[in-house]
């Protein structure tokens, strides 16, 4: 079993384009390096349109908290972030890491 640390990002009420706001939050994860780029994989505007939120999966709590602090400091105030802990049999991060080693 694997525990995934998720930051669920959505947009509250704002007069700005919500896709611009969510894109700004998505760009902040790039500043975490390769872990951040892996965390945002597959989280596109189409996913946001369907679900109404994006889920960034981080390997540990510290990285997720660094991301949240960064969004609070540099992001739009309309960004809403929920902290979620999910238990899975196999992690998405595990599959991505095993692919990169091959």
Q: What CATH number is associated with residue 23?
A: 3.30.70
Rounded to whole angstroms, the Cα distance separating 11 from 41 reads 19
User: Which one, of 73, 12, 5, 79, lies nearest residue 36 by Cα?
Assistant: 5
Question: What is the C-alpha separation between 31 and 35, in angstroms, rounded?
Answer: 9
Structural domain of residue 73, as residue ranges? 2-101
Neighbours of 41 (CB within 10 A): 13
Is the pLDDT assigned to residue 92 strictly greater than 70?
no
Q: Say if CB 61 and CB 5 are below 8 A apart.
A: yes
**Which pLDDT value is given to residue 95?**
60
**Using 50, 70 and 90 to split pLDDT, how confident is the model at 94?**
low
2-51: pLDDT as tens digits: 778 899 999 999 999 999 999 999 999 999 999 999 999 999 999 999 99
Least confident of 20-34, 48-62, 77-91: 77-91
d(CA 16, CA 22): 11
Could you give the CA distance from residue 6 to residue 86 in angstroms, rounded to a whole number?
7
Q: At what angle do helices 61-74 and 18-28 cross, to 10 degrees?
A: 130
* Count of structural domains within the chain: 1
């Amino acid at each position: 079993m694997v525990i995934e640390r998720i930051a669920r990002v959505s947009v509250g009420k704002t007069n700005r384009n919500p896709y611009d706001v969510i894109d700004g939050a998505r760009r902040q994860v790039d500043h975490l390096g390769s872990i951040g780029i892996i965390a945002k994989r597959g989280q596109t505007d189409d996913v946001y349109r369907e679900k109404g939120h994006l889920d960034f999966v981080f390997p540990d709590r510290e990285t997720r908290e660094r991301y949240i602090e960064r969004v609070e400091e540099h992001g739009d105030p309309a960004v809403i972030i929920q902290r979620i802990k999910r238990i899975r049999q196999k992690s998405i991060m595990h599959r991505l890491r095993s692919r990169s080693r091959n």
